[in-house]
Amino acid sequence: MAKRWVWLAVVALLAVQATQVVYIVHRESLTFDEDDHMFAGYMMVKTGDYGLNPEHPPLVKLLAAVPLLVENLWTPPLQGRDFKIEAYLSGRDWLAHNDGASQRLVFRMRLFAGLLAVGLSLMVFVATEEWFGSGAGLIALLLLTFDPTVLGHSALVTTDIGVSLFFLASIFAFYCYVKRPTPGRLLLAGVAAGLLLATKHSGILLGPMLVLLIGWEIAFAPKGLRTRVATRLGSALVAIVVIGVVVLWAFYGFRYAARPAGLALSTPLADYVKPLSPFNAAGVMMIAHLHLLPESYLMGLVDVKRMAQFYPTFIFGKVYAHGLWWYFPAVIVIKTTLGLLALAALAVFAVAKGALLVGRELAFILLPCGFYLTVAIVAGMDIGARHILPVYVLAFIFAAGGLAALAARSRRWAWIGAVLILAHIVSSLTVFPNPIAYANEAWGGPENVHNLLSDANVDWAQQLFQVKAWQDQHPAEECWFAYFAYPEVDPAVYGIRCHALPTADTGWLGGSAMTPPVVEGTVLLSAGDLSGCEWSNDRMNPYRGFQTRKPAESIDSSVFVYRGRFDLRQAAVLSRAQHADALLGSGKATEALALAREAVALDTTDIAGLTALGNAAAALGQKDDARQAWQTALTMAQHMEQEAQAAYAPDLEAKLSKL
């Protein structure tokens, strides 16, 4: 057990962590998914509706909703839209009406979500102390306290910190059971597994991790005891799964149906599984038929699989229409401090030299870490270091164990370790208070990270307070703003008066302004829209021309200000195409056709404009015009690389086949 001074050091580090986190989130506007999570959590508590945001399990959302239990807030009327549109836009309107730009409610919800970060810190210390001693525990906690990726997500109402906490808690609880099997420890392992499942769908990876660890235990058990060990740990695994699933059901109120009586999912589960392989679809539907897991949880599992099928990847200045096996290794090299990378290398050296012995403790760190990273590499959803946060957590423990082992052999290693820890801290502080945009010095730091990576690695739409401050300093400038989270989050709520440029998200949620072909004045671009990370092909990004321009100003290393005269023809086409499709959806086909023709007149080769023209012409029975527009769009799509064609060609081919 750690001495009193050690726990005083732990409390001090927790205070430092909390101070940083509170300051960071107090200056951040809503990030991309938070209004979705917050609204869904409130509706779960007030109405028992688990169908507004089934793409994520409920634990974090329910925790964030705790400070709202005493509130009687206005809620927007449900409109029966697709569940993602309903959750995003209703969440936006709900917060705008009840909270505005003050973010009083947002801040309270973030503080409750931030309790998971405190739990993660304590869990890292306790596990590391048990495995490698108090000194290593403090080193691991120190690394976590100043890690930019951890700090950037510690108090956001999202799932990444929570899943990191409960992955480590589940692994450590299983370790404790293996070391000394008791019913209480088995129950604790099962509860931890249930909390993990209730936090994020990637929690299901715990099952194969435990199988790997059981395999290790069997392989290194005395020969005569291997059968007994296999039987005991196999039975324990079954018990953990059963207990975990019961805990998961408890978070859904032991109700199978995602929505309360009288409401149904916007898309039935049987229809939502259709894009999956027949094997996966059949498996999901069998589980649903037997009511083995809640409907909302199954819907989320399917959504994860569907999203991974088409997510584009932006890295090193290029958009790929598919995932890349080397994406997360590259992210680790870019987004990890040089000090932590060196400490991890030292830990490998310690193992090679025999200072850090290979045994149960290392197996419980490295096997889950390697498995999680491998799954992330092959999953194809390459959008942020936050998705491998559990790997970082295990890396802190591994690095701390290695340094402690080497320092025990020689004071020289203690001094080297101290320098590397200091380098880790200093590097983290250079990006404070905007840790999301961190990159280490070898890659040009925060000001260059947008050229290398995108999404939550740089720009998760956290900068609206700073954009508002910039606008207050330039009151006479008319501006056009491509904002990464618009319209999921509306800059106007924060008092920002820029015209909204079209983005990939305004294509399915609406809201862009009618963009002129030429803009003379000021253009603001979020890093996510500058990179074009949501388009499957570089050519579809209407702002790629800005990538070679030097911005006049940078706001929080993730919003860039350009002044001058700009050709925005592609953005103009896109805005008209999106508005034409919206008009068509509201039954105004004639107006839609006129706007689509205007779009095509600006650029006769633009896929968005041609597709919109075909859609409107077909609605008005003008089959020849529709065929010509769609065929031209298909020809343009077929000039893209093979993987990028999948985002456009199948839909256009289906439209043509109907004619």
**Average pLDDT in the 153-159 region?**
96
pLDDT of the residue at 103: 95
Residue 361's pLDDT band (cuts 50, 70, 90): very high
Two structure tokens written together for 250: 């408890």
Q: What percent of the chain has pLDDT over 90?
A: 92
Q: Is the dihedral of CA 270, 274, 278, 280 positive or negative?
A: negative
Identity of the residue numbered 455: D
Give the C-alpha separation, 47 to 252, whole Å.
12
Average pLDDT, the chain: 95
pLDDT of residue 381: 87
d(CA 606, CA 637): 10
Q: Is pLDDT at 36 greater than 60 in this prediction?
A: yes
Tokens of residue 274, six digits: 């259709």
Beta bridge partners of 559: 526, 555
What is the model's pLDDT at position 383?
87
Residue 481: the pLDDT is 98
Please check the confidence at residue 647 and state whether its pLDDT lies above 90: no
CA distance 109 to 82: 26
pLDDT in tens, 368-406: 999 999 999 999 888 899 999 999 999 999 999 999 999
- Phi/psi at 526 (5° precision): -65, 150
Report the phi/psi class of residue 532: left, alpha or beta, with left for phi > 0 and alpha for psi in -120 to 50. left
The confidence score (pLDDT) of residue 543 equals 97
Is the pLDDT reported for residue 475 higher than 80?
A: yes
Residue 307 has pLDDT above 90, yes or no: no
For 182, the enclosing helix (H) or strand (E) is none
Residue 2's pLDDT is 61
CB atoms within 10 A of CB 33: 24
Mind giving me the DSSP string for 362-426?
HHHHHHHHHHHHHHHHHH-----GGGGHHHHHHHHHHHHHHHHHHHHH-HHHHHHHHHHHHHHHH
pLDDT for the residue 1: 53
Helix/strand/coil for 320: strand
Poorest-pLDDT segment among 158-162, 334-338, 340-344, 643-647: 643-647
CA–CA gap between residue 635 and residue 379 (Å, rounded): 30
Structure tokens at 409: 């052999």
Tens digits of per-residue pLDDT, 40-79?
999 999 999 999 999 999 999 999 999 999 988 999 999 9
- CB neighbours of 64 closer than 8 A, spacing ≥ 6? 37, 38, 41, 109, 110, 112, 113, 157
CA distance 620 to 634: 21
- Predicted TM-score (pTM) of the model is 0.95
Long-range contacts of 202-209 (CB under 8 A, 24+ apart): 202/163, 202/304, 202/375, 203/57, 203/163, 203/166, 203/167, 204/301, 205/371, 205/372, 205/375, 206/167, 206/170, 206/171, 206/244, 207/237, 207/241, 208/371, 209/171, 209/367, 209/368, 209/371, 209/372
Task: Tell me how far apart the alpha carbons of residues 484 and 560 are, in angstroms, rounded to a whole number.
Answer: 12
